[in-house]
Structure 1
Amino acid sequence: MVRGRWINLNGMWDYLITDSRILPWQFYENEYFPFDGQILVPFSPEAPLSQVNRQLLPDETLWYSRVIQLPEGSFDPTCQRLLLHFGAVDQICSVYINGKFVTYHKGGYLPFSADITDFVGENLVISILISVRDFSDTSYHARGKQQLERGGMFYTAQSGIWQTVWMEIVPEDYIRDLRITPDFDNGHVKIRMRTECPDNRYGTGNASYDVQPDSDKTSSDSCEDAKGSVHASALCRIYPPVYLDADGVTDELCQQPITEAFLKPGKEISIPVPAKYQKHWSPEKPWLYPVSIEYGEDRVLTYFALRKCDVQMAEDRYPRFFLNHEPYFQSGVLDQGYWPDGLYTAPSDEALIYDIRAMKDLGFNMLRKHGKIEADRWYFHCDRMGMLVWQDMPNGGSSYHHWFVTYLATLLNWMRIPVKDIHAKLLSRTDEDGRQEYVDDIRGMIRALYNHPSIVTWIPFNEGWGQFSTKQVTDMIHKLDSSRLVDSASGWFDQGCGDINSLHYYFLGLPIPRSKRVLALSEFGGYSLRIPEHSACKNTYGYKKFATSDGLTSGFARLMEDTIVPSVKKGYSAAIYTQLSDIEEEVNGLITYDRKKVKMNPLIVQKWNARIKKALK
């Protein structure tokens, strides 16, 4: 959804942290409002890069303010619309434009937008005021591994704007969104375009996009039934497959299309890709097809890939992961996306690229994005660089009973004693509103990330934290997205549903269950080495501690040789090492928290990654 006319609003904003939720100008109607200072957006106030370094507490409100003057002639409200986009704001926020309420959003991980055209004055001055509240781990909202009192496996809580804010100038009739699904077996791509127009905007057509668990349809798909829509279709052009660089899809890439088709708003169309141009996406060869779509005066650039990831019965009579109809071992790393200076927010685009490239260089072909939903830019880099992604839904619920979901669960898992997910109190999921919000967030996550070819697996629950109605949630995800796999319960509390029998191995022996589903070692390792000059904390948390890099490397090699590689012949088809980088007290990363040192011998890690992939053949 790349357009030519957009305005980046990252930068310095005024901010205030107060115990009042009342609009500032209700206190100071005709006076300059005394803000606390300035904050660098998109970094949360807890992050050093924000230049604030203050924790937002659950009973406080964080206010942001910025005034934008649009250049004269840049925007015509009589025939254009002005959209305000937020990548993510943690956790609950309200947006005001020129003193008037515009929109409200709940959920700290999902993007949202607002049409602010009707709130902009004639002089094109835009005063933006945002209020934010974040309950962190004191409520049932999704929070990942944030905790107000960090320590061990839980990390510094962050709040407020933590992804890019931008504005976009679009025509009156414009493309609202796209849903792109590769049809690998037939060499087609399926595209559905939804549009926005005046009648849909102001009439009964402006309905929710929420998808019900038993349906993949929306209550109002588009403008095709709205009076006043002037464009019957859009011209879709598909271009030859390329390896995209960090600049993404640009006009320079879009020279001669290989095929064209017309899209009718709200209707999915299947477009054949000419046989001679069919190239399949994989981590080794991440071919992407640039696409341009013209709808009246609106034009967007995007891309797709031809790839298929499913589970099939292999020749050794074990269910295995297949990529493009070939057995494919997924050797991955747990990636929680924390940085010492930006917390949830990478300090730069180069930092996002570095993490992906570092893992590819070590021989890994998959990342499990754990405990958060990353900035959209990160998934783009995985798409273009060739990195499979397993995506967690960040966990929520009330305080966790670790004696049950961590310690006892580890023992029960090793003994293969099943536990039903009906114990709402023990699994911290007694609140009905919290359960409904969690389901809504999963729908939003799938909608937001659906078009990224790198994502091959959804993970709704991890280690029983806030787990509930696993079978129903899994069925809902399959109906929302039948093109990907579902790891219903990563670690333990398996309910016999989903595509993957997913186990974690840190202590005791590695279970080798006979399963009709594909077996995945979705977490293992966690070996620790603290390097003082590259560590954030004096305290050390990890599952097995080493004093030197050589010792850590040797321990990893023994684990791979004695346990992990032999498990492949016994049915395991994926293994995910904990973890990509150190995070605060957790010093079990392959690289240090500051990203300045790889802690193991890279050649040894590469060797064992090559061996575990060959063990499948």
Structure 2
Amino acid sequence: MIRKTIAIALVLAANLSEGFSQQWKPAGDKILTTWGENLDPVNPHPEYPRPQLIRSNNWQNLNGLWQYAITPREQEGIPNVWEGNILVPFAIESALSGVGKEVGKDKALWYHNEIDLDRNVNKNNVILHFGAVDWQCDLYINGQRVGRHEGGFDPFSFDVTSFLKKGKKQDIALRVWDPTSEGPQPRGKQINNPHGIWYTPVTGIWQTVWIESVPKTYIVSTKQTPAVDDKALHFEAQVEGALQGDQIVVEAYDGTTKIAEGSTPTGSVLKLAVPQATLWSPDNPKLYDLQIKVLRKGKVIDRATSYFAMRKITMKPDEKGIQRMYLNDKFVFHYGPLDQGWWPDGLHTAPSDEALKFDIIKTKEMGFNMIRKHIKVEPANWYRYCDSIGILVWQDMPSGDLGGNTWDMQPGKISGGLHDKARSAESEAIYRKEWKAIMDVLHNYPSIVVWVPFNEAWGQFKTKEITEWTMQYDPSRIVNSASGGNFAYTGHMLDIHNYPDAAMPDPQIFGKDYILTLGEFGGLGLPIDGHSWQQKDNWGYQSFKNKEELKKRYEELINNLAKLIPLGLSGGVYTQTTDVEVETNGLMTYDRKVIKISESDLKNIHQKLYDAKIGK
């Protein structure tokens, strides 16, 4: 009887999968990744999406086929008619959404889903989470408006408890408006008319949607800051519904061995002593586990797990007096690719978690120790993989409200002119709100060692003020105020861009006050037939006919880069990890099917960068 029941269940599952497949297929005719070709629409991105605060029992993944409609922006009310199905969490413009349509500033995109709440979720408080929705969205539960969120790169949630009706079935509708390049909001590389270095718009849900049940008193978030010199972890927790006398208890583990324990009243900071900790580095990415509890009169009210690492990143002069970046009091040259995190089939969204991890694994195998995450914020699991694999991260703030600036930067020397953009009060408020939200949600990831508020005068405004606020808000990291100019002589770093050859700011002029870095260079192009976004009019900053020519020129660039390290250079960023749309200057093709220079060759070429001596 049991075998017969199992057989029936398997048949039903197979039929369900086939039914979903018949309702969905990739849109358009662009190249696909292997993961996109093999995507199961029944179960896209099924992984638990919040690795820094895990409650693994009472949650439900809502990814999958939803209904959608595109309406005039001014139209009010939830649509009565739906145009078809869209595969969440892929943006509507993407192939993997199954739709492949643009929306624009004059239209609104609506989502609809009637869900069956799992029994273990439909109790206590019910929180609906969105990993990211670009850009402005309004949530409706069972026809009632719950609230609005603005911000295309930060996760957010709503307590929907009071909007639920009796029974399992609940109705969810989401209205999204996204002006892309016709609005002031952070958008990164999206533009309404894709060309050159500017790419396809990303509208709507592009990260996991999920729901969880929590107690009336529950942990909303934590803030974990390593203090290596104090041999301690500074721990804070935001607790919703806390009562007088409630305690936070934190236990740290190395595997199954408890190495530290402490408690503090809710709302206060705990200094958790970790006296014998192994320090985190790319060579030894040691992570420790945390168990976190809320106690009331000795009873556990809520519990969650997390993790942390002990590491510090500092700025101090070498023996010549030139400022350097030190990781755990040792000079480490930072070298990594400009990583934009775009996918030919998913746009901002990797086709799977395996694909998300693939880029980081390949970066490590190629002998890089750093990634500059370029004007995009990734899903939380991406940072988790950087933490566990051992990759330093320079995290950019996504650009927005471009235009109206003068880019004042010359390779190797700084002209000193500063031409900040005059943003509107609305534009400034949007930037500040989202930058703070991004810094908050990414704070606990030890791999992130550098914040980058601005890139190349793209919407750059009040540089000195924004930079100094960033330094004050998170003094545990290095701040690169403006990668590639305009330079306001603030922050820790002076960062130039130069294509294609390696260059650096003058160490005699600037080295006493700033860490000197080359934030972008290279961009060597090689289109691979059958693996490009389009068949012609692709480009790189310097193009080659074959892999041999590309490798020879790349090695020349690295040899020249290595010569700058003893002179004062502390970091370099090569453009780029993969091809993106019409750019064919990646180390991998856009579909990740061809690696243009082998991992082993790249690792051997890069070793001279880490062997370079300083301060003598």
Amino acid at match of 2:609: I
Aligned to 1:101: 145
C-alpha deviation, 1:314, in angstroms: 1.7
Q: Does residue 467 of the first structure (1) align with residue 520 of the second (2)?
A: no
Amino acid at match of 1:364: F
For residues 120 and 404 of structure 2, the distance between their equivalents in structure 1, rounded to whole angstroms, comes to: 55
C-alpha deviation, 1:320, in angstroms: 1.3
- Give me the TM-score of the superposition, normalised by structure 2: 0.87
SS at match of 2:570: strand
Aligned to 1:555: 553
Aligned to 2:262: 261
SS at match of 1:118: helix
Q: 1:299 to 1:616 in 2, by over 3 A?
A: same
List gaps (5 residues or longer) in structure 1. 28-32, 198-222, 224-228, 241-252
Aligned to 2:87: 40
Aligned to 1:503: 496
Q: Does residue 300 of the first structure (1) align with residue 278 of the second (2)?
A: no
Contact 1:421-1:470 at 8 Å conserved across structures: no
For residues 328 and 120 of structure 1, the distance between their equivalents in structure 2, rounded to whole angstroms, comes to: 53
For residues 375 and 367 of structure 1, the distance between their equivalents in structure 2, rounded to whole angstroms, comes to: 15
Aligned to 1:232: 246
Q: 1:310 to 1:122 in 2, by over 3 A?
A: same
Aligned to 1:541: 539
Contact 1:192-1:263 at 8 Å conserved across structures: no
Aligned to 1:2: 54
Amino acid at match of 1:303: Y
Deviations 1:287-334 (A, max 9, x none): 111001111321110000000011121234321111111111111110
Equivalent residues in 2 for 1:407-426 (5 A)? 409-410=408-409, 412-414=410-412, 416-422=414-420, 424=421
Equivalent residues in 2 for 1:522-537 (5 A)? 522-537=519-534
For residues 162 and 487 of structure 1, the distance between their equivalents in structure 2, rounded to whole angstroms, comes to: 28
C-alpha deviation, 1:183, in angstroms: 0.6
For residues 424 and 136 of structure 2, the distance between their equivalents in structure 1, rounded to whole angstroms, comes to: 18
Q: 1:508 to 1:108 in 2, by over 3 A?
A: same
Aligned to 1:585: 582
For residues 267 and 415 of structure 1, the distance between their equivalents in structure 2, rounded to whole angstroms, comes to: 47
C-alpha deviation, 1:43, in angstroms: 0.1
Deviations 1:130-158 (A, max 9, x none): 00011000111111110111111111111
C-alpha deviation, 1:492, in angstroms: 1.7
Aligned to 1:521: 518
Q: Does residue 12 of the first structure (1) align with residue 5 of the second (2)?
A: no
Aligned to 1:214: none
For residues 73 and 84 of structure 1, the distance between their equivalents in structure 2, rounded to whole angstroms, comes to: 14
Contact 1:414-1:509 at 8 Å conserved across structures: no
SS at match of 2:607: helix
For residues 301 and 63 of structure 1, the distance between their equivalents in structure 2, rounded to whole angstroms, comes to: 35
Query: 174-183 or 433-442, which moves further after superposition?
Result: 433-442
For residues 347 and 486 of structure 1, the distance between their equivalents in structure 2, rounded to whole angstroms, comes to: 32
For residues 537 and 74 of structure 2, the distance between their equivalents in structure 1, rounded to whole angstroms, comes to: 37
- Out of 565, 570, 585, the residue aligned to residue 568 of structure 1 is 565
SS at match of 1:258: strand
For residues 154 and 83 of structure 1, the distance between their equivalents in structure 2, rounded to whole angstroms, comes to: 36
Query: 549-558 or 602-611, which moves further after superposition?
Result: 602-611
C-alpha deviation, 1:23, in angstroms: 4.2
C-alpha deviation, 1:570, in angstroms: 1.2
Identity of aligned residues (%): 37
Q: 1:363 to 1:480 in 2, by over 3 A?
A: same
Deviations 1:320-356 (A, max 9, x none): 1111111111111100000011000000111111100
Deviations 1:476-524 (A, max 9, x none): 1111101001000101211110001111111688344122211011111
Aligned to 1:89: 133
Amino acid at match of 2:247: S
SS at match of 2:469: helix
Equivalent residues in 2 for 1:189-338 (5 A)? 189-197=233-241, 223=242, 229=243, 232-240=246-254, 255-275=256-276, 278-295=277-294, 296-338=300-342
SS at match of 1:464: coil
- Give me the TM-score of the superposition, normalised by structure 1: 0.87
For residues 340 and 181 of structure 1, the distance between their equivalents in structure 2, rounded to whole angstroms, comes to: 36
Amino acid at match of 2:250: C
Aligned to 1:60: 107
C-alpha deviation, 1:231, in angstroms: 5.5
Aligned to 1:443: 436
For residues 293 and 414 of structure 1, the distance between their equivalents in structure 2, rounded to whole angstroms, comes to: 49
Aligned to 2:447: 454
Aligned to 1:373: 377
Aligned to 1:397: 401
For residues 366 and 263 of structure 1, the distance between their equivalents in structure 2, rounded to whole angstroms, comes to: 36
Contact 2:87-2:98 at 8 Å conserved across structures: yes
For residues 420 and 71 of structure 1, the distance between their equivalents in structure 2, rounded to whole angstroms, comes to: 56
C-alpha deviation, 1:69, in angstroms: 2.0
Aligned to 1:208: none
C-alpha deviation, 1:263, in angstroms: 2.9
For residues 477 and 382 of structure 2, the distance between their equivalents in structure 1, rounded to whole angstroms, comes to: 19
For residues 450 and 512 of structure 1, the distance between their equivalents in structure 2, rounded to whole angstroms, comes to: 30
List gaps (5 residues or longer) in structure 2. 1-52, 295-299
Contact 2:362-2:599 at 8 Å conserved across structures: no
Aligned to 1:484: 477
For residues 167 and 403 of structure 2, the distance between their equivalents in structure 1, rounded to whole angstroms, comes to: 50
Aligned to 2:186: 142
Aligned to 1:50: 97
Contact 1:550-1:601 at 8 Å conserved across structures: no
Query: 87-96 or 412-421, which moves further after superposition?
Result: 412-421
CA RMSD for the aligned pairs?
Answer: 1.6
Query: 511-520 or 327-336, which moves further after superposition?
Result: 511-520
For residues 576 and 444 of structure 2, the distance between their equivalents in structure 1, rounded to whole angstroms, comes to: 26
For residues 441 and 73 of structure 1, the distance between their equivalents in structure 2, rounded to whole angstroms, comes to: 33
For residues 316 and 387 of structure 1, the distance between their equivalents in structure 2, rounded to whole angstroms, comes to: 28
Amino acid at match of 1:63: W
Aligned to 1:163: 207
For residues 64 and 548 of structure 2, the distance between their equivalents in structure 1, rounded to whole angstroms, comes to: 43
For residues 257 and 502 of structure 2, the distance between their equivalents in structure 1, rounded to whole angstroms, comes to: 57
For residues 229 and 108 of structure 2, the distance between their equivalents in structure 1, rounded to whole angstroms, comes to: 52
For residues 607 and 228 of structure 2, the distance between their equivalents in structure 1, rounded to whole angstroms, comes to: 27
For residues 509 and 342 of structure 1, the distance between their equivalents in structure 2, rounded to whole angstroms, comes to: 33
Q: Does residue 343 of the first structure (1) align with residue 347 of the second (2)?
A: yes
SS at match of 2:530: helix
SS at match of 1:127: strand
Q: 1:187 to 1:414 in 2, by over 3 A?
A: closer
Aligned residues: 551
C-alpha deviation, 1:194, in angstroms: 1.3
Aligned to 1:172: 216
Deviations 1:387-432 (A, max 9, x none): 100000001114466xx43xxx45x45553121134x3xxxx4322
